[in-house]
Amino acid sequence: MPKDHLLLLLFFVLHQSLSIATENNQCTSSCGEVTNISFPFRLKSDPKICGDSKYELSCLNNRTVLSLYLGEYYVRHIDQTNYTIRVADVGMRKGDCSSLPRLSLSCGNFSYQDPYSACDYDSSMFYGREPSKTVSIVKCTKAVDSRLYIDASSCLDG
């Protein structure tokens, strides 16, 4: 290939790469309290060039929603630094300890091909098993001084 053509091809590829990078930088969205929706995430209302369709979110009633398999989850936080998204089942009501999630997210819900995972397969010290996460609501007769204790007395009143 002549050097002129190679130089022209290099210029074209560089120009396209810079254009895509510039467009992605202009694709930051927000919905409600989630203000940093950017690549790879996108809102359904964003232009098609923004984000990856596998990571599409909705904005419903000013709340960011992730539709995943058979359930919907409110997006609480997106951390672009460590590539995590914190979600809560839409069945959970803030301040209501008796509300229960409609679905459970666990390692078994995901495969290696899925865009999301509830587990860190690469550095799991549980060798493919999920650590137990049990919540017990109890009424203590004496004060508890422990960082593991969360006062849930409002859940037990009335």
Q: What is the pLDDT of residue 17?
A: 43
Backbone φ, ψ for residue 96 (5° rounding): -115, 100
Q: Where along the chain do its domains lie?
A: 29-142
Please give the span between the terminal C-alpha atoms of the chain, in angstroms, as a whole number.
81
Query: Residue 96 carries which DSSP code?
Result: -
**Whole-angstrom distance, CA of residue 73 vs CA of residue 67:** 6
Q: What is the pLDDT of residue 81?
A: 86
**Whole-angstrom distance, CA of residue 64 vs CA of residue 45:** 12
pLDDT at 157 over 60: no
Q: What is the pLDDT of residue 25?
A: 56
Tell me the pLDDT tens digit for each residue of 100-152. Answer: 677 777 777 677 677 777 666 554 444 444 555 566 667 778 888 887 777 77
